[in-house]
Structure 1
Amino acid sequence: MALQALKNINRAQSAVEAPKDKGFPALLEKYKGEIARALPKHINPDRMVRIALTAFRMTPKLGECDPRSVFAAVIQSSQLGLEVGLMGEAHLVPFGDQCQLIPGYTGLMKLARQSGLVQDIYAHEVRVNDKFTLKLGLERGLEHEPLTGPGGFPASDEERGDVVGFYAVAVFKDGSRTFVAMSRKEVERIRDNSRGYQAAKRFKKESVWDSDFVAMGLKTAIRRLCKFLPKSPELATALALDAVSEQGKAQNLNLNDVIDGTYAPVVIDEETGEVLEESAKPTPVAAEAKKDAPAAQAAAPTANGKLTAAIKAMEGAKTIEALDEVYIRAEVELEGADLEALMREYRRIKANIDSLI
């Protein structure tokens, strides 16, 4: 019943029930109880509502967006396990009359750690007066010694000089490491290919690349690193949402899909803007039938034995940690519609496990 109550938002007459000047706060207040019952067990609904309202009020232009799109972005963020606003894990950003959900680099790092296979992940900028050594080949290595001041403490950014590059490092549970290093020119090339940045320049507006270049550079390095990491469904979705936004495209956060856990953004290469994978959203009839069908039957149309085996293995998981491990090992062998089907089944099974905790 909670899910259906939330879906009824789409049927509401926004001009009557949710006027745009106060529509989003009104929706949050009206559906607070349903939100609490629909969210994953580890999400505190009161805290989510409070943080979402703060983020909404800090960006006045969100009041010009369809309140249902803001609501969908907040629910999607909560399902990913990210908090919008001041913590920088995710941001609510106006895109015409729609709200988009933009993961921050701290949010991407959080999701990478939560995959269960990444023990730590971090990124740093390198400045011209730092000591930086990069070694590739059979024995890879990376050393970074920031310029220090009195007492051996890090010098100021002004003393360290201009930013010349970025790197990101991931430490796996077995202690092994992987990293990426990117020059400033390489990061700026990716920035210049971003349609969002191009639009800001065309209309002579300041973009986040102008106001916070270092944070965007760190995020670019983290995104590059994530290509080489095992990805949970949450991390994969966050990366896709971010890439879509960077290329100036609509995320199409449909409220019903978000509530059902079937939302899947178009997958875009953030460096080239090339569409790598179109979202294969089920029709309403197919989605309804899927709810009543066993997992193996839902997967049968793909005729993919690997998918069926992976879903069966996920069905046997008794904990979220075990479920995550099965998913991460399976997702590297699937792609396209099969990968989306795996992700949907993961979310369904995860919700079932959550309900038993």
Structure 2
Amino acid sequence: MTSLKDRVKAAAERTAGKTGPALEDVQHERTPDGAGEAAAGHDPDTSEGEMAWLRRYEEHVTEALPEHVEPAAFFAAVRAALPTLKRCSPASKLQAVLTAARFGLVPDGKVAVIRADGAQATFIPTYRGYIDLMHRSGRVESVHVGVIYGNEEWSSEPSAPYPLDFTHKARPDLPKAQRGEAILAYAFARMKGGGRSHVVLLNREDAEEIRDEYSEAYRRAEESGARDSFWHTHFLDMWIKSAIRRLEKYVPTSAALRALGDVEDAGEAGQVQITLAPDPEDAALVADAERAHRAAEATQDPARPGSVALPVKAGKRGRSKPKRQRGGRRR
């Protein structure tokens, strides 16, 4: 037997970039008698069919969610997104939903979205999603992002003492015409216990170079004439996200944060994302190891090097967290 994750990966790989029919192996997953949606009387192109499809995988998705994410809010966001994904294969929808769940990012348009790219459903984190994961590292107090407009006061002098090395006097009270054009996006983090990270400054030319070199979605939208990628429709947000992704180099990171950029890049390239998302057991193991490492650094006991034992991962049937109560959560 293979896991649902393995079947979704295989099915999504077979339909990546295709517009063919729904996948049998994923469409009929967990149906006791082997009958599919049509046999059960559910048309996947109707709202009722979409809801039945979502309920079928509710347990898998709930188990993938971190404890701090309320399942009701997550499923409400997924239900709202499903009508926009009607042309997407069931496998790609499922892998996108599971990927969002593994990162604990609700696809509500604020921290993440699930978007149709042809027949492929893709999970896309927003810049707020990156900030969310930075906070979860446990060592970042706050993350600050902003946009500097042409008629606002600002200065950047890296050799000056903190906090004079970077200043920005925003003027949100001015009408847009008086504020001028956006000239810079910036991002920095304040650390717990004091201190501040390097300040990332990104001008428009930098952002456009990043877009042109790395965004497959932008290239496809340009070539097709649709011009509907997020770089087309939400340029300022993408500019800020580019600054946030550069900030990763200067802040303490988690395994999930390091994986998030790889997952987004895989989605841009039309590849399966779920295989790069953090596994709950692996994530728990890494988190325990990182805590143990910080504890060892804090003690700094030279007489007992390496005395903090790292956790041992449970077998495949082991769980890193107790099962959630399912009562009243079916949709």
TM-score, length of structure 2 as denominator length? 0.70
Sort the Cα spacing of 1:348 and 1:43 in 2 relative to 1 into closer, same or farther, 3 A: farther
Partner of 1:56: 82
What is the percent sequence identity of the aligned residues?
24
Partner of 1:79: 102
Query: After superposition, where does 1:163-182 map in structure 2 within 5 Å?
Result: 163-178=182-197, 179-182=199-202
Offset, 1:348: 8.6
| CA offset digits 1:297-332 (Å, max 9, x no partner) | xxxxxxxxxxxxxx9xx86x9xx6x555347899xx
CA contact (8 A) 1:123 1:166 kept: yes
CA contact (8 A) 1:40 1:354 kept: no
Across the aligned residues of Structure 1 and Structure 2, the Cα RMSD in angstroms comes to 3.7
Equivalent pairs counted in the alignment come to 276
| CA offset digits 1:61-87 (Å, max 9, x no partner) | x1111122212211221121100023x
CA contact (8 A) 1:169 1:180 kept: yes
SS at 1:355's partner residue?
coil
Partner of 2:291: 325
Partner of 2:321: 354
Offset, 1:174: 2.1
| CA offset digits 1:207-226 (Å, max 9, x no partner) | 32222221111111101111
CA distance, structure 2, for counterparts of residue 34 and residue 242 of structure 1: 22
| CA offset digits 1:122-176 (Å, max 9, x no partner) | 211110001110012374611001236xxxxx32333211101110011111211
Structure 2: give runs of 5+ residues left out of the alignment. 12-23, 29-34, 38-42, 297-311, 325-331
CA distance, structure 1, for counterparts of residue 81 and residue 171 of structure 2: 36
CA distance, structure 1, for counterparts of residue 295 and residue 99 of structure 2: 24
Are positions 1:111 and 2:154 aligned together? no
Offset, 1:113: 0.4
CA distance, structure 1, for counterparts of residue 277 and residue 53 of structure 2: 15
Structure 1: give runs of 5+ residues left out of the alignment. 149-153, 263-290, 296-310, 331-344
CA distance, structure 1, for counterparts of residue 191 and residue 212 of structure 2: 32
TM-score, length of structure 1 as denominator length? 0.66
Q: Which has the higher contact order (CA 8 A, sep 6+)?
A: 2
Greater gyration radius? 2
Are positions 1:45 and 2:58 aligned together? no
CA contact (8 A) 2:190 2:196 kept: yes
Offset, 1:347: 11
SS at 1:221's partner residue?
helix
CA distance, structure 2, for counterparts of residue 45 and residue 236 of structure 1: 24
SS at 2:154's partner residue?
strand
The worse-fitting range, judged by mean Cα deviation, of 102-111 and 137-146 is: 137-146
CA distance, structure 1, for counterparts of residue 196 and residue 314 of structure 2: 29
Partner of 1:27: 53
Sort the Cα spacing of 1:217 and 1:237 in 2 relative to 1 into closer, same or farther, 3 A: same
The partner residue of 2:219 within 192, 198, 209 is: 198
CA distance, structure 1, for counterparts of residue 121 and residue 293 of structure 2: 30
CA distance, structure 2, for counterparts of residue 146 and residue 139 of structure 1: 21
The worse-fitting range, judged by mean Cα deviation, of 20-29 and 70-79 is: 20-29
Kindly indicate which of the two structures has a greater share of residues assigned to helix. Answer: 1
Sort the Cα spacing of 1:329 and 1:181 in 2 relative to 1 into closer, same or farther, 3 A: farther
Are positions 1:185 and 2:185 aligned together? no
CA contact (8 A) 1:82 1:90 kept: yes
Are positions 1:211 and 2:233 aligned together? yes
CA contact (8 A) 1:92 1:101 kept: yes
CA contact (8 A) 1:116 1:325 kept: no
CA contact (8 A) 1:124 1:166 kept: yes
Sort the Cα spacing of 1:71 and 1:210 in 2 relative to 1 into closer, same or farther, 3 A: same
Offset, 1:198: 2.2
